[in-house]
Structure 1
Amino acid sequence: MHMTTYRTSFILCLLLVSISACSSASLPVVIKGVATSEIILTSYATAREEQAAHVLQRHVELITGTRIPIVTGATSAKKTHIWIGQAALDKKGDLETITLAGEGHALLTEAPNVYIVGHKGKSVLYGVYSLLETHFGVRKYDAGPVSFKKRSDLVLPDHLHELFESPFIYRESFYPTSTNAEYLDWHKLHRFEDLWGVWGHSFFKFLPPETYFKAHPEYYASVNGKRQATQLCLSNAAVLQLTIAWFKEKIAANPDASYWSIAPMDGAGYCTCSLCSKADAEEGGPQGSLIRFVNAIAKEFPAQQFTTLAYGYTANAPRKTKPAKNVFIQLSTIDANRQLPLSSEPKSAAFRKQLQDWAGCTDNLFIWDYTTQFTAYLNPFPMYDTYQENMQYLSAHGVKGVFEQGGGSTFSDMAPLVSYLQAKLLWNPKADPFAIRKDFLNGYYGKAASFIDAYLNMLLKARDESHAILDIYGSPILSRTNYLSPQWIERYSELLDEAEASVEGSPLFSKRVEAVRLSLEYAVLQQSRSFGVYPHGYLEKLGSAYQVKTNWPARIKHFVFQAKEHGVQELAEGGASPDAYAAEWQEIFANPYLPSLLLGQQVELKGDYVLDYPANGPQTLTDGLVGNTDFSYNWLLFEGLDADAIIKLPLLANQSISLRFNYLIDPRHYIFSPLQVLIQASRDGKNFQTLKEQSLEENYTEGTKVQQKELTFQISSEMKYMRLILKCPNELPNWFSGARTRKPLIALDEITLK
């Protein structure tokens, strides 16, 4: 079929739908429970056309209780004839002149005929789903059964001329519903597993280090003058030939794959050998050697389509080399904050420049977008009002496909609504998001809809009024001073109380409201870990000590049970399962806080800590709460600076005492071991003498660990202040393969004295 612009078809569709709405004529499909129509296929119908016919037949029967027949030719002039696919084209030859692109489809009615035609792929099936939703009122809100109203009469308006197509050829919303085949087809979505022969970060699929690195280190990146298995060396001729051979084998085994990814591994450590560096210097960065490598492979397979990632160190467009015609660039929004649309959010300025530059050198642009909080999937993440503006912005800049990465197969904040909104707007960025949201809430939450709507609006209001930043690597703890403050949470909870009360006695709607509450409960539980002995913490005062609040173990147990009921598989990307989360809490209950002579003592810091991760400020070091491997709470971070803390001492006798402190090692997040610790004491808080010093440096390169250090020394009763100094490294260690544009960090936690 002929190609046309999305804008032209959309306006034509609106015009013709408006005209058809004025007509009072109709085509009966079922009247008073009697079939008055038939579905017509050719005798040589494709599997997709047969599927479309049966989908229509099944849903008409669900609505009316009546099965309309599927035939291979009109059987009665008195019936409404629903022609599908090629049968429609054979019946009405001028349908060939309809201008559709991609997976576009059309619905036309000329009594007594209904025509459903598509351009390619699943488009005729999409046409049936569009009819069911637009004219029969059927909804597919999630992976469960469809929603509809029973009726005995079903009719279609005459003189319909509706065209449906999307500006995006690739549309994916990566949420739990994306595993449901009917949901995908209903909403015209794709799955990368179905389209890509190999997806995402793929370098080590071609040359696994465990296979090649020992014998051929030259195949891998030269980092700081040493070959390391971080990325491939893209200027090495053998690497190119081995990769081409890999693709020859895989393409032959999977000839129907639409795309093949050629992309670096997720992380830094790109090659800086002389040849790669020369290419990168000519192209303005490491994207240069990547694009030349990808183009060389694409040249060998002109009938295939390849994708590569503009992400991290390859995000910028090259100066000289343009991607080949069969190469798609998948640009990432990884650095964007999400409280504002991409078109105006300040931190997205780099992305906007990258998009403009890539659009200047290729017409094949996909976007890898991020729409969840990866460090806290359940955490309320109110970017619900930005989706339409983002889709429109991307479409206007020539983007051909969008991957909306949510929580994948695990449940996350408002996942059913978010996926539904994204699906509708990926297909039609001009659709009304408020109407979509209202339709979804009414259908999905029943009588609780108005309260859920108010809850979502309140989240957005709190986000804006508190000037909150929505960081995809944030957490409920980091948001406890803005839109997730205890005061706001109390107001959200009151609305959800009303929502629950409104659907009491309705198990289905109650369970769905319960899933909304789950996100808020997660925020409360996580924040309690940081509040600790303070209000809203999990501890309460008992005499001179503290104990876990009596209701807290049961609260954790209930949360974990509900999380599993609602499909939570992990609470963060690569994070704890609900059972592992329960185990974390059991460890906390076993050792709820650290008793210490310094508990609650005032702390003065001589240097600035990283304000993005404030924990409980200077008092983090004496609040009794122990940090774990998550640096974002219960730790103070110091970037390129020593950790220098002065603590007022309680009354002490002349004695030997032990001081213990914790520090974190997490190279992935630029957190390294301190070089040295110094313990000092003072009578006046100004003049200090050193009591103990010790080297701490260690080259721990893998994973994350909490390190404890205990030092014993003599102290005089005259000493009123103690000072702990952790020396921060001046530069990143030589073995570190990450980007060397940042300063090293050190992380300090609880200081105890006994």
Structure 2
Amino acid sequence: MSVKVIGIITSLLVAMPTWAAYEKDAWVTSQAYPDFHVVVSASASVSEKFAASEFCNYWKKTTGHEIQSSTQAMEKKVNVWIGKEGIPPYLLDGILIDDFGDEDFMIRSRNRGDTRKIQSDHLFILGGRKRGTLYGVYEFFEKVMGVRWLTPEFTWIPPAAPDSIQVQDFAYSPPFEYRETNYRAFVQNPYFALVHRLNGHHLDIPEEWGGHIAYTKAGYAHTFHNLVSPVEYGQSHPDYFSEIKGERHITPHSTQLDLTHPDVFKLVVEKTENILENAAPNEKISSISQMDWPYWCESWPMRTIDELEGAHSGSLIRFINEVADAVAVRFPDILIDTFAYTFTRKPPRFARPRNNVIVRLCSIECDFARPLSDSKSRLNRAFRKDLQGWARITKNLYVWDYTQNWYCFQGPHPNFHVIQPNLKFLSDNGVKGVFEQASPVSPHSDFEYLKGYLIAESLWNPRLDWEEAFNEFVDLYYRDAAPYIREYIALITTKAQKSTQPMTIFSKMEWMDGDTVVAAESIFQRAFAAIQNDEIRERLKIAHLPVQYAALVCPPHVEVATGSYILTRPPSQTFDEYWNMIQSYGITHLQDTPIEELRTRLNGTTPPRHEAIPIVRLQSPFSEVWITPTLGGAVRRWLDQRYHIEVFNGFENPTSNQWIWQEWELMDPDNPAPEKSLASSYQVIQQNTHSVVLQAGLPNGLVLTRTMTLDMNAPVLAYRLGIHNTSSQAILPRLKIHPEIWTQGSKHPELWVKDKDGWVEKEMEPSGTEDIHRGTLDPEGILSWAMRISSRSTILVNAIESSELEALAYYHNPEKDHLNLELIPKQTPLAPGEKREIHSKYEVVERLGMDDNFVRTSQTKR
């Protein structure tokens, strides 16, 4: 086997001579290798003494020569000094060693005869006593001797030592002070994390190995309720928690804290200080961070601050600053950490984090098929704006980044090409710490070893040549199968880059298609036919797992035939075959949830390879409507034939749940869960050319009967929903009518409301997340509401019966290009046998002039 071993680093982070600058100047040749001797002072730190033993250990592995260490230099030896303690001053003439940080180091060589006093050859690996000297040892063996720590089980040692070692003159200070990824390989193997010079919270590296940076027992993230618990205080002090629409929320999963309440401040400071009194020496960061759901407090003081600051981060940072000031009195070396996450991601106008505050900015919304610096990506462009805004006002900016797919860890997620560029971008913009979130428990997420290696190497050196590191790993780990791995990764990376769909961490592989799956499968079959080595074949099988997942669930090829969609999927295993395979590999998690959720998602069955989905088509002289009863009863198309306007655009991809109209679950604030369609399938009860009646029974005993009728004499679509409680118990109908209206590329659709006096434009409330607006309206007195796209001269009018409704709810997401105009029925229980109906009408109007009631100007300004 021929493997290229790299012994020269090609790109460094500091303005110092690189290894390559000395290639022609040999310091010692291989003839001197048996004469190496390690010197470490008796007063060296515990990690420096470990560094001395590590040098001896890896010297034996790389050269075959066993060497000793002692506290004294030896004549006629090549003395390797580990740590700066005990070195005679004459040897350090001209070498500055006083300013090492905990993780800084230098590597310097001297030859006998450099000065009259130097009678033998010396190598100095000197650095911070905490971890710097130890890191210098690993740097030496990686860059000079060619060692590669590829996986916890596989360390590459070159088959032959270099013929010589060049003159060394190198210093390094890592750009990121906090470096962490929680891939399983690092979390479950602290030594593997150590040699990659990671130092974060989840990496249980012992003190004798230099230790690691830890968060306090307050928690690593989403800690509000650890400090002020709604279980403990909710009943007695509801005013400690979020006020929303005038009501205090005390259910744990539907509330945050009221950060303007003086008692909340006192409790947070008290609890934080109590935790710090018992903190371990390495627990230097205490997190005070929002919970992982919305429900930000809207009390008058909170709302006033956030309006002044232009962001929810305003009230958060002001509160965190006050806590940080209080804590600093007793604990001046502690940093207080908080999030800039979803609705707090946008930086405030005026508040400035204190110098003892860390702001952890989260990239959860971004497109990971493209670099964070890509100005063509709207998602990434928005993140970059927030990143640079925080960098201008924050001394301690950290980033919580994401490395894999959080819809399914086993799914293909080709982000290899953005890992290093993203980390360089963060470093260039002043970020001091990075956490790259991954799968810490379940094995065999998508290329976990390769991605973990690239991440660790890039965290240590954000300017490394990632393609060189990538190819080196692939060559060493996959050996003769390397060309096939490269071909496969190039295939799926190109596919993701060319897709118009962003590759977010919650992507359901919208960017993938059957042709790509077939091509990927072909690559692996060629690889299996060519590779006979059992060890490499097993590595190929692991790399093949994402392709097998993609084959099972990838979006189908779609054709529209008369009366149906024809869906075709690539060949795949059966569900049972796939399930048994992943069980045999010990895969325990789908994402943050147990792997059993995959069985639930697919109902334990194999998605059909060839499938016809019936389409109910309604037509009038004005409109055409398409409905798929067996796919959630979704209205997928409404074409207004007068103006050639598509109201819903979901007909192009019938497996997508975007731009369609359904009945959805209404989130229960006491038990929040993601909202979704109420029924997976509806039965056609009655149908003619312009009208249809659909029905679905729900598990709780509710029966929904939906009637949709196109008026043959006017451009109107009538909708009626019957709700019938067929059970023996009273049922609260937690449901809503959920049309996702296509905004046709408009980033600023308008919301209008009509009462007895005419039309008024309503300003939509920002949610705190970039450009997303959501809110509710009291239906009392409202006759109609409408979406207006001024750039297209398009208006969709929805006439309602306000007495039938509890609320009107809107949600605008410009990235997903839709505005929801939702109707929520009365939220009072239905008695057994009781029926309730909601009546509504919809009409497309091309321009304001077509409706004389659009005469009043907006009462609110943008």
Q: TM-score, normalised by structure 2?
A: 0.68
* Equivalent of residue 523 in structure 2, options 487, 492, 495: 495
**DSSP 3-state at the match of 1:325:** coil
Contact 2:40 2:70 in 1 (8 A): yes
Alpha-carbon offset, residue 462 of structure 1: 2.1
| Cα distance in 1 between the residues matched to 2:18 and 2:694 | 84
User: Given the alignment of the two structures, is residue 552 of structure 1 paired with residue 574 of structure 2, yes or no?
Assistant: yes
User: Given the alignment of the two structures, is residue 248 of structure 1 paired with residue 273 of structure 2, yes or no?
Assistant: yes
Alpha-carbon offset, residue 386 of structure 1: 1.4
AA partner of residue 43 (structure 1): A
Aligned pairs for 1:338-377 within 5 A: 338-344=368-374, 345-377=377-409
Contact 1:263 1:308 in 2 (8 A): yes
Alpha-carbon offset, residue 189 of structure 1: 1.1
- Show the counterpart of 1:622: 630
* Equivalent of residue 588 in structure 1, options 582, 605, 612: 605
**DSSP 3-state at the match of 1:96:** coil
Identity among equivalent positions (%) equals 22
Alpha-carbon offset, residue 406 of structure 1: 2.4
Alpha-carbon offset, residue 506 of structure 1: 3.2
| Cα distance in 2 between the residues matched to 1:588 and 1:682 | 31
* Equivalent of residue 195 in structure 1, options 200, 211, 214: 214
* Equivalent of residue 206 in structure 1, options 202, 206, 227: 227
Alpha-carbon offset, residue 66 of structure 1: 3.6
AA partner of residue 518 (structure 2): E
| Cα distance in 2 between the residues matched to 1:96 and 1:190 | 26
* Equivalent of residue 347 in structure 2, options 317, 324, 345: 317
Alpha-carbon offset, residue 527 of structure 1: 3.0
Alpha-carbon offset, residue 421 of structure 1: 1.1
Note the alpha carbon deviations across 1:236-286, whole angstroms, 9 max, x for none: 111111111111111111152121111110111111112222222222232
- Show the counterpart of 1:570: 589
AA partner of residue 556 (structure 1): Y
User: Given the alignment of the two structures, is residue 178 of structure 1 paired with residue 218 of structure 2, yes or no?
Assistant: no
Alpha-carbon offset, residue 739 of structure 1: 10
| Cα distance in 1 between the residues matched to 2:695 and 2:416 | 53
Contact 1:223 1:272 in 2 (8 A): yes
Contact 1:86 1:117 in 2 (8 A): yes
Note the alpha carbon deviations across 1:274-316, whole angstroms, 9 max, x for none: 2222222222232111111111111122211111101112111
- Show the counterpart of 1:79: 77
Alpha-carbon offset, residue 672 of structure 1: 7.0
Contact 1:663 1:706 in 2 (8 A): no
Alpha-carbon offset, residue 80 of structure 1: 1.1
Aligned pairs for 1:595-634 within 5 A: 600-604=613-617, 621-622=629-630
Contact 2:406 2:592 in 1 (8 A): yes
Aligned pairs for 1:265-344 within 5 A: 265-302=291-328, 303=332, 304-344=334-374
**DSSP 3-state at the match of 2:416:** coil
CA RMSD of aligned residues (A): 4.0
Residue-pair matches, total: 654
AA partner of residue 337 (structure 1): D
- Show the counterpart of 1:654: none
- Show the counterpart of 1:160: 168
Alpha-carbon offset, residue 473 of structure 1: 0.9
- Show the counterpart of 2:103: 103
Residues 8 and 138 of structure 1, relative CA distance in 2, 3 Å threshold: closer
Contact 1:220 1:232 in 2 (8 A): yes
Alpha-carbon offset, residue 585 of structure 1: 6.0
User: Given the alignment of the two structures, is residue 381 of structure 1 paired with residue 413 of structure 2, yes or no?
Assistant: yes
Contact 1:388 1:425 in 2 (8 A): yes
AA partner of residue 239 (structure 2): E
| Cα distance in 2 between the residues matched to 1:707 and 1:66 | 78
Say which structure is richer in strand. 2
Contact 1:375 1:474 in 2 (8 A): yes
Note the alpha carbon deviations across 1:529-556, whole angstroms, 9 max, x for none: 9999843278xxxxxxxxxx9x625522
The runs of 5 or more residues in structure 1 that have no matched partner are 1-6, 539-548, 608-616, 644-661, 699-704, 714-722, 748-754
Alpha-carbon offset, residue 219 of structure 1: 1.1
AA partner of residue 318 (structure 1): P
Alpha-carbon offset, residue 740 of structure 1: 6.5
Alpha-carbon offset, residue 733 of structure 1: 9.2
- Show the counterpart of 2:460: 427
* Equivalent of residue 503 in structure 2, options 443, 462, 470: 470
Alpha-carbon offset, residue 391 of structure 1: 1.9
User: Given the alignment of the two structures, is residue 454 of structure 1 paired with residue 487 of structure 2, yes or no?
Assistant: yes
Contact 1:671 1:744 in 2 (8 A): no
| Cα distance in 2 between the residues matched to 1:724 and 1:707 | 22
Contact 1:451 1:499 in 2 (8 A): yes
| Cα distance in 1 between the residues matched to 2:49 and 2:286 | 30
Residues 741 and 553 of structure 1, relative CA distance in 2, 3 Å threshold: closer
- Show the counterpart of 1:720: none
Contact 2:614 2:628 in 1 (8 A): no
User: Given the alignment of the two structures, is residue 505 of structure 1 paired with residue 526 of structure 2, yes or no?
Assistant: no
AA partner of residue 248 (structure 1): E
Contact 1:365 1:400 in 2 (8 A): yes
Residues 561 and 732 of structure 1, relative CA distance in 2, 3 Å threshold: same
- Show the counterpart of 1:24: 26
Residues 19 and 536 of structure 1, relative CA distance in 2, 3 Å threshold: closer
- Show the counterpart of 1:37: 36
- Show the counterpart of 1:394: 426
| Cα distance in 1 between the residues matched to 2:321 and 2:382 | 25
Residues 209 and 672 of structure 1, relative CA distance in 2, 3 Å threshold: farther
**DSSP 3-state at the match of 2:385:** helix
AA partner of residue 150 (structure 2): Y
| Cα distance in 1 between the residues matched to 2:695 and 2:474 | 62
Contact 2:40 2:48 in 1 (8 A): yes
Note the alpha carbon deviations across 1:418-474, whole angstroms, 9 max, x for none: 111111122212211111111111111111112111111122222234444212111
Residues 740 and 232 of structure 1, relative CA distance in 2, 3 Å threshold: farther
Contact 1:663 1:707 in 2 (8 A): no
| Cα distance in 1 between the residues matched to 2:706 and 2:432 | 64
**DSSP 3-state at the match of 2:125:** strand
Alpha-carbon offset, residue 96 of structure 1: 2.8
**DSSP 3-state at the match of 1:385:** helix
Point out the more displaced range, 467-476 or 133-142.
467-476
Q: TM-score, normalised by structure 1?
A: 0.77
AA partner of residue 26 (structure 2): S
| Cα distance in 1 between the residues matched to 2:59 and 2:155 | 12
Note the alpha carbon deviations across 1:321-358, whole angstroms, 9 max, x for none: 21111001111112211121111132222212212221
